[in-house]
Amino acid sequence: MDSRCVIVQSSSYDSSAGSSNSSSSNQESGDIFCRNEGNGLTVGSFTSVNCTVYSASKCVDNNNHIECTRNTNGIVTCVTPKSNSSISCYGTSIECTSSNVKCSIDSKGKMEVNDVPTTKTTVHFKDGKEIDENSSSEVINNVSSTSPSFLIFLSIILLQILKI
C-alpha cells in the first residue's frame, strides 16, 4: 500500500470547530495528549501537530486542514497547521511532536513519550508537564468537544481502518 494522507469529511462537519472563536472553549492552552491506538498514534494539541510516518500510512485530522508531503524515500510528514487540533496516523514507526512533547510508536506498537518508553495507552500534558489520569478527564472532554461531529469522525476513522 502506498503512503497516503486522507482527509475525513463528514456531511455534518462543523466548519467553525477549531476557529479562533471557539478554540478557547474547546482546548485549553497548554493541553496535549498522545494515545496509542494499537495500530497507530493520535495526538491532540492546543497548537499544531507534526507527524512523520516511516511506513505505509494513513493520516486524518479533526479540522480537515492536514498538509502532507512524501519524500523520495517514502517517508510521509503531515502537519496540522491550525491550533486546537488532533491528528491520527495509522501504520508503524510513527513520530509526532507538538510544542515540547514528542510521542512515537515503533514497529511493534510500543509507545515512547519524550524518548521514554511507557506502557500507558494515553498520556496527557498540561504546560509541558505530564498530568495523571484522574485529573486529565477535562483534557479528553475538551478535545472530544472540538467538533460536534467528533463521534461521527471516530466512526469514519474506524471504517477507514477496517478497509485497510
CA pair distance 139, 122, nearest whole angstrom:
11
pLDDT at 66: 80
Q: Supply the pLDDT for residue 24.
A: 29
Residue 116 lies in a domain: yes
Strand order in the sheet with 67-70: 67-70, 76-80, 49-53, 94-98, 101-105, 111-113, 116-118
* Mean of pLDDT values over 69-73: 84
CATH of the domain at 110: 2.60.40
Residue 5 lies in a domain: no
- Residue of 141 and 86 predicted with greater confidence: 86
Is residue 139 included in any domain, yes or no?
Answer: no
Q: Is residue 112 domain-resident?
A: yes
Is 7 part of any domain?
no
pTM value? 0.64
> For 12-16, 73-77, 119-123, 147-151, which range has the lowest pLDDT when averaged over its residues?
12-16
- Determine, yes or no, domain membership for 104: yes
- Boundaries of domain holding 100: 27-131+153-163
3-state secondary structure string across the chain: CCCCCCCCCCCCCCCCCCCCCCHHHHCCCCEEEEEECCCEEEEEECCCEEEEECCCCEEEECCCCCEEEECCCCCEEEEECCCCEEEEEECCCEEEEECCEEEEECCCCCEEECCEEECCCEEEEECCEEECHHHCHHHHHHHHCCCCCHHHHHHHHHHHHHHC
The answer to whether residue 144 is domain-embedded is: no
CA distance 47 to 96: 13
- Structural domain total, the chain: 1
Residues 112-135: pLDDT tens digits? 999 999 999 999 998 878 887 554
What b/e sequence results for 98-122 when a residue is b if at least 16 CB atoms lie within 10 Å of its CB, and e otherwise?
A: bbebbbbbeeeeebbbbeeebeeeb
Q: What percent of the chain has pLDDT over 90?
A: 25
Does 103 fall in a domain? yes
